[in-house]
Chains A and B, each alone.
Chain A
Amino acid sequence: METDSGSQAQVVDPEVRAYIYSLLTALGGTGGSDTGQYVLGDDALACLRDIKKWLKFYDEKANRMDVARCLAEAELVNRDLLPILALYGDAAQDDKHKSRILLACLELLVPLTWPLEIHSQMTVNHHRHTPYLRHSQVMYKRGILGHGTSQILRAVIRIALPSVTIPRSERSSRDEGILKLMLYLFRNIAIITPSPHLAGEGDEEEASRSATITTFHRQDVFALLLTMCSNMGEDFTFQDVIILEILFHLVKGVDAKSLFSNDKQHGVMETNALQGILEKEDSVKREYSKNAPTRHNRFGTMIWVKRGEEKMSTVSGQDILKDERTALLKMDKTKKWNKPKGRRNDVDVSINNFNVPTTLTSSAAKHLRTFVGEFLDSGFNPLFTQLRKAIEREADRVTEATQRQFFYVISWFLEAERARRTQQKELRQRNQNARDIEPDSFGLVASVLNQETFIALSRWMQTFLDNKEWQDVNATMRCFTQILLTVQEMSASPLDEDQEIAENIQNRIFYEETTHDRILSILRNYKDQGFWYLDSCTELAYVFLRMLEQYSKQNVDMQVRSRRRGRRKKAAEAAKDQNNPEGGESESEADDTAEATRTAVERSFDFKRFAPKFCTQKSVNTFIAFTSFYRELNLEQLKRIHRFFYRVAFKQDLSVLLFRVDIISLFYKMIKGPDGLDPTKPIFREWEEFVRQIIKKLIKKLDQRPELIVEMLFSKINATVHYLEYGYEKQTVSSE
C-alpha cells in the first residue's frame, strides 16, 4: 500500500486525494452490516454535495481532472452511487430526504460520465488523466447497464418522473434542470464505448451498443423518449437537442436496411452472409494458390525479360513463369522507392463520427426496430419540426455538432422508413388476405419533406462546403440523397395524393439551378476527403442525375431558375468589337454592371445539355478514386460506378476521358487480377463486358489516331477531347 500511494501521489495532488478519500469514507459503505447492504453515512447528503463542489470548484475552475481521477480510482460510481440508487430506487417519492440523496447521486453521475473529447486546449493534466478516465467510464457504463439487483436507469427515470408529469407552463427551472440531467445521463451512456486502443478484458460486450439498446428497452428509456418526442413542442421544448444527440449515438453506423429485413429473411441473410464470407475466403485462397510456388522456396528460378535495344532484365521466382504480365508486375514490385504520399486526414476520431459501421445482436436489433417503428409513427414529425426551428433560430442549446447530427439522423430515419415500407409491402404480398390494408401515406416523414427543410439543407450544405467541414458536408449529402430516394418512392406510390406531392417536391428541388451546380462541383472537387465522403458524393451525384433525367423526360417544358451572371455574354460581345479602341474599358464596365445586377432568369432546362457537365475529367477522377477501393465495395456501389462509366463512355461518347494508362490498368486489374473482382459474382460479368468494350474502343482509337498513345498519359484538355473522339475540331470552342 505504501509504495502504491507513493507512486500515485505524483499523479494527483496528495492533499486533494486525502480530502476526497475522507469524503468517500464518510459517505457510507457495505462493511457495516451483516446483510451486506449498503449503509449510508450520517451526513451522506452533505458528502455527496461536497464531492460535487470539489468537481465543480477544483476540476472545472482550475481546468484539472484530479478529482475525477481520484473518484475513478476509488470507484465511487460502482461502489457507492449505484448501490445508493439501488437501495433507494424504489423509495416513495414523497420521502424528501431520500429523493434528495438520489438527485445528488444523479448530479454526480452526469459529470462523471461526461464524454471526454480530444480538443486543442488540453493541458498536461488532461493528457495524463483522459485515458484512465475513459477506461473507468466504460466501467461505469458496465455498472449502470448491468447492475445485479436493480434497474438503475429505471430508478433515474423515477427521479425525474415528477418533473416530467408537470405541465410545461408550471415547470420550474429546477424541474427543467432535472429533466436535463436525466437526458444527459442517457446521452452519456449512449456515447461511452470501449476504446479500441485499450487491451480488451473480454467483456466489452457489456458496454456495447447492443447492451445499451437492450437496457434502454428493458428499463423503459425508449418509452420515455417516445413520450417526450411525440409531445415535442407542446409539453417539451428545450429537450429536443439532447434527444437528437441520444438518437444520433444510438443509430450511428447501424445499417437501417438490414434492421428492417424480416426475421425469417434475417436468418437467411445471416447464413447467406456466412456463406458469402466463406466463399470469399475460398476465392482468395484460390487466387493465391494460382500464383503460389509449386515447389519449395529455395527452388531458385530466374528469367530474363527481353526488352528491346539488346537490353535484359532479370526477375526471380517461379510465379513469373506464368506469363509476361506477371513478370513485369513482379519487376515493379521489387522497386524500393515509393512516391511520398501527402498526409491523410480522413479519419475523424471525434465521437460524432458516424462512418464506423456497427453490428447489433439479433435481440438488440429487434428492440431497436420496435423503437424505430414507433418513433416514426409518433415522434418523428414533432421532433424534427421543433429541431429545424431551433436550428434556424440559432437557439442557445444548439451546439456545433447539432447540425451534423440533425442531417445524419434525418437521413438514417428516412432510409429506415423506406426499408420498413418495403418490408410491409412484402408482408402484404405474402398474405393475400391482408391486401385490403391500405398502404400508409408518406405523411409520417412529411416534416422533413417541406420547402423549409430544403432551404435549410441547401444553406447548410453550402456553409459546410465553404468552411471545408467535410464530415458535415457528408451528413448533408446523405440527407439529400435519402430525401431524393424517398421522393422517388413517393412518386411510385399507389396513392394519388402521394404522387402529386412528390411531383411538387421534385419541381421545387430541381427548380433551383444552384442546387445542380453545387452537386456538380462537389463531385468534381473531390480531393482526399476519404472513402466515406467519396461514397456519399458519388451516390448523391448518381441519384440526382438519374432522377433529374427521369423528371425532365416527363416534364418536357421544365423550367429552372438560373442565377447566371450576364458576364460571359457581355465579355464575348466586348471581344467582338476589339477594333474599337475603347473596347477594353467598356468590357470592364459591362462586367461591373453584370456583377451588380445578378439576374435570376427562368429558363427552360435541357437535360441533353446538362448531362455532359457530369461527365468531365474531374468527375471521372472522383469515380476512379472510388473505384480503386473495388475490393471493399458492395454490389450497389459497384453498380453505381459501372453505370456512371457506362454513361460516360457510351451515352455521352466521351470514352476518351477513360483512355488513360492508370485507368486502363485499374480496369484490367479488376478483371484479370491479381486481386481482381470476385469472378463468381454476377456484377463481375457486367464489369468484364464493360471493360472489354472499353478496351475494344481504345484499340480501335489507337489505330485511327496514333497520337493517342501520348495523350493516354495525361488528363485530356477540353479542347482536344472532341477531336480525339470524333477526329475533327468542334466548330465552337467551348470553355469549361
Chain B
Amino acid sequence: DGEAGADALGLDEELKVSRKRNPVAKLDEARLLSQAGIPKLRKTARTKLKFKGKGHEFSDAVRLLNLYQLWLDDLYPRAKFADGLTMIEKLGHSKRIQVMRREWIDEGKPKPLWSEGGI
C-alpha cells in the first residue's frame, strides 16, 4: 500500500533538473511591429527630428543616422548598427511587413478619388 502510494506521488522518481538556456531575444516581425518598433520610430521622427536644411547636408545626415542608431539600440541592443539594419531589411521582404508598409504609406497619401480601387 505504502509503496503504491509512493509511486502515485512519484517520490521514487529522480528529480531531473534541466537547466534550459534562456531563449535569445530575436529581432523578428513581432518586435519590429511592437510599440518600441516602427511606431516609436515614426513618433520620434515626427517630434524630435529637425533638419537645418540647405548647406548643412552632412550634419543633417548625422542627425538622421543617430536617430536610427539610437532607435535600433533601444529596440534590439544586441546587434550592431549595420547588422541590425541588415536584419530589418530582410524582414521587409515578408508579407506581413509589406502589408504594413503599404498601410503606412497610404496613411500619408492625400486620399485621391481613384486610390481605393487601384490594387
Contact = CB atoms under 8 A, between A and B. Distances in A.
Given A710-B41, A714-B88, A717-B98, A335 B68 contact: no
A676 to B, nearest CB: 12
A119 interface: no
A495 interface: no
Interface string A698-736: 110011011101111111010110011000110001000
Contacts of A324: 62, 66
B44 A308 contact: yes
B41 A709 contact: yes
Given A706-B46, A719-B119, A695 B85 contact: no
A33 interface: no
B101 to A, nearest CB: 7
A323 B80 CA distance: 20
B104 A713 contact: no
Interface stretch (A359-367, A554-562, A656-664): A656-664
A307 interface: yes
A324 B54 CA distance: 21
B105 to A, nearest CB: 5
Contact of A710 (B74, B80, B93, B104): B104
A299 interface: no
Contacts of B65: 325, 661, 664-665, 668
Nearest to B92: A714
A711 to B, nearest CB: 7
A197 B113 CA distance: 70
B54 A337 contact: no
Given A328-B66, A328-B70, A662-B89, A335 B79 contact: yes
A662 B73 CA distance: 15
Interface string B79-97: 1111101111100110001
A250 B107 CA distance: 64
Contact of B80 (A307, A338, A698): A338
Contacts of A328: 66, 69-70
B6 interface: no
A323 B45 CA distance: 21
B57 A717 contact: no
Contact of A713 (B70, B74, B85, B109): B85
Nearest to B97: A714
Given A335-B80, A707-B104, A720-B105, A699 B89 contact: no
State the 9 A-B residue pairs at the shortest beta-carbon distance, nearest first: A714-B92, A339-B83, A707-B108, A695-B57, A709-B45, A662-B85, A692-B57, A332-B81, A695-B61
14 contacts: A313-B73, A335-B79, A338-B83, A339-B83, A661-B65, A702-B49, A703-B51, A706-B108, A713-B88, A715-B92, A715-B93, A717-B101, A720-B102, A723-B109
Given A709-B45, A713-B68, 5 more contacts: A308-B48, A339-B86, A711-B101, A717-B101, A724-B105
Interface of A: 307-308, 311, 313, 323-325, 328, 331-333, 335, 337-339, 660-662, 664-665, 668, 671-672, 692, 695-696, 698-699, 702-703, 705-707, 709-715, 717, 719-720, 723-724, 728-729, 733
